Structure 1
Amino acid sequence: MSDPSDPHCSATDPVLAAAASQVRAAVADPGLRPVVRSFFDEETFTATHVVHDPATKKAAVIDSVLNYEASSGRAKHGSAQMVVDYVRESGLEVEWQLETHAHADHLSAAPWLQDRIGGKLAIGADIIRVQEVFGKIFNAGTEFARDGSQFDHLFHDGDTFGVGNIPAIALHVPGHTPADMAFVIGDAAFIGDTLFMPDYGTARADFPGGDARALFRSIRRLLLLPDETRLFLCHDYKAPGRDAFAWETTVGAERAQNVHVHDGVDEDDFVAMRSARDKTLSLPTLIMPSVQVNMRGGHMPEPEDNGVSYIKVPVNKL
């Protein structure tokens, strides 16, 4: 395993080298370490993270949740309201509403949050690939734009930004979907659906556009960050024998202990394991509404002539 501080690594992956340098600077300087407050939605097993610069009180919300009851088609805002309450009580100014990818297991609350606490809505630039694939699956029609214009900003690999005075960098980590991004903010990396806690393993790669081999390479890229890098995950399902939900770990812990992809695991062996495991998994309960909403930047499909939005269910397609 190469070291991100190694000149060879810097030459072959300058984006990763820049991210690693940023993490090391934050480890050395507490002023560059963000404060992270997480909110866990047990219905969808999703962790939403609010990250902020303690000096400026500038903040980002990452992977928010809109509560949705599939049986009734009703949306509620309990999980998102907790984020609003925390932001207001803490005196934070939200600069970003970040999505690590177009989720298939929960609906994004980003537009609802934008109306109340602000922030630019951003996702990876390859969302256009997801929109193209699922636009066809759901027969979304020509009125559905497939250019990412539902979002305020599209990140490419290596794009830099900031949360207050804390530097941040976007890493493209495809595999779970083509558009997955990780956001490294100070010494904290928000890695979406790539890795789970070490005792649970890795994300699935069998959705349209997913790729187990790409997932392995994305994970190994993330695990070249310094061992001290704090990793904040999007989901937890409590591995057998563990009683509490958890969503924070480190690069060092994942490299040493991840049951699917610890140091020494071969790429071909991982692909074989991941592919076999994915064949046993059912689709997420909320995949139909989630994808249709999230590919639209968290907005419901356009209302029909009776003023009502509808979620489509393609029969025998997925």
Structure 2
Amino acid sequence: MSNTPEIYPCFEPKTSTWQYIVADPQTREAVIIDSVLDFDPASNSLSTATADSLLSIIDEQKYSVTRILETHVHADHLTASRYLQQQLINRGQPRADVCIGKRIQLVQHTLAARYSISSPELESAFDYLFDDDERFSIGSIEAYVLHLPGHTPDHVGYVIGESVFTGDSIFNPDVGSARCDFPGGSAHALFCSMQKLLSLPPDYRLYTGHDYPPEARALSEHGQKWKAYTTVKEQNLTNKHVRNGVSEDQFVTWRTERDVALSEPRLLHQSLQVNIRGGRLPRRNTEGYRFLIIPLKVPESLD
């Protein structure tokens, strides 16, 4: 089998999210990883320009999409997985399964109660749940699943040839690591997941789920502002949070103190409610409206 895919990194700047199309150049089979559905919180409206740009690449390259992959339940953007699935069917392609790691069920159980989501809405929300270390193929290219908890308990990465799609388990070296204060998150677990990635061969490429360039990179005239990947070797030498010599205790202390000071993601509640449904929208009520629940923070004086 070949192990060199064609990779199209597609950056969505409003949520700083990297989406990927990964394809076998021989068979033209492809997967989509961590897609974005556009959401405007000012008008509470959805649109599909970002997802449509992925479809344009797929059309131009004549790819056949066999899977739509999620690394985890994202808390900062809505997935476009179901929209993409239907649009690909409309183009005459076979139905591509929407896939995620098997621990999604833990996250669904926790969040369903918080947002009053009924069990029927979560039944078969995803088409396929991967086991840890499960192997699959994209045409002639071998791939397998890595369980990478810490940011969230369901988090997985995808090793495709010598490229690894890490989601939010590790960021570029000058950004470091993701927060661990979501339900089921753990700084200890994230440190171990990052070490799992850093133990891969040094020339493997790590494609991250987000990029938040610090000022030095953003203003650089010669560097690339948005970086989709670095190598395992680069991460071991320069990652600001887990480079060689940083202990687990040091990382956990810093990450925990940092997370306490962070505000919640702008699209937290909207994202979680759609994403645990596997990209499906809430059901319409009797008058044809769809609703999301936004929790209120109420002072004691108003209780």
Q: Same fold (TM over 0.5)?
A: yes
1:46 paired with 2:12, answer no
Tell whether 2:219 aligns with 1:241: no
C-alpha offsets along residues 174-231 of structure 1, whole Å, 9 cap, x if unaligned?
Answer: 0000000000000110000011110110000001111110000011011111011111
Residues 1:291 and 2:291 aligned together: no
Structure 1 CA distance, aligned partners of 2:173 and 2:119?
A: 43
Select the residue among 275, 283, 288 that pairs with 2:256: 275
Pairs within 5 Å for 1:79-90: 79-90=50-61
For 2:112 and 2:297, locate their aligned partners in 1 and report how far apart those are by CA, in whole Å. Answer: 16
Give structure 2 stretches of 5+ with no counterpart: 89-94, 219-224, 299-303
The residue identity in structure 1 corresponding to 2:109 is: E
Corresponding position of 2:244? 263
Structure 1, unpaired ranges of 5+: 1-25
Residue 32 of structure 2: aligned partner = 61
Aligned residues between the structures: 286
Q: Scaled by the length of structure 1, what TM-score is found? A: 0.88
For residues 213 and 194 of structure 2, the distance between their equivalents in structure 1, rounded to whole angstroms, comes to: 21
Residue 226 of structure 2 aligns to which amino acid in structure 1? F
Please give the per-residue CA displacement for 1:25-53, whole angstroms capped at 9, x wherever unaligned: x9xxxx42111001101000001000001
Provide the identity percentage: 40
Distance 1:119 1:141, change over 3 A: closer
User: In structure 2, what residue type is equivalent to 1:161?
Assistant: F
Maintained 8 Å contact 1:62/1:98: yes
Worse overlay, 118-127 or 53-62: 118-127
- Contact 1:137–1:314 at 8 Å: present in 2 too? no
Given candidates 88, 100, 108, the residue that maps to 2:79 is 108
Deviating beyond 6 angstroms after TM superposition, the runs of 4 or more aligned structure 1 residues are none
Matched with 2:101 is: 124
Inter-partner Cα distance in structure 2 for 1:266 and 1:240: 27
Counterpart of 1:11? none
Determine the C-alpha separation between the residues in 2 that align with 1:164 and 1:269: 42
- For the aligned residues, what is the CA RMSD? 1.2
- Deviation for aligned residue 1:315: 2.0
- 1:214 is matched with 189
Describe how 1:295-314 pairs up with structure 2 within 5 A: 295-314=276-295
How far does residue 316 in structure 1 lie from its aligned partner after superposition?
A: 3.0
Asked if 2 retains the 8 angstrom alpha-carbon contact of 1:94 and 1:119, the reply is yes
Q: Determine the structure 2 residue equivalent to 1:192.
A: 167
Q: Which residue is equivalent to 1:223?
A: 198
Residue 282 of structure 1 deviates from its aligned partner by 0.7
- How far apart, CA to CA, are the structure 2 residues paired with 1:100 and 1:133? 18
Structure-1 separation of matches of 2:159 and 2:15: 24
- Displacement of 1:310 after TM fit? 0.5
Match of 2:129 in 1: 154
Secondary structure (helix, strand or coil) at the match of 1:313 reads coil
Post-superposition CA distance 1:111-149 (Å, at most 9, x none):
01011224210001000011011111112234433x6x2
**Which runs of structure 2 are paired with 1:133-172 in the superposition (5 Å)?**
133-145=110-122, 149-172=124-147
- One-letter amino acid matched to 1:83: L
Q: What CA distance in whole angstroms lies between the structure 2 residues aligned with 1:177 and 1:171?
A: 14
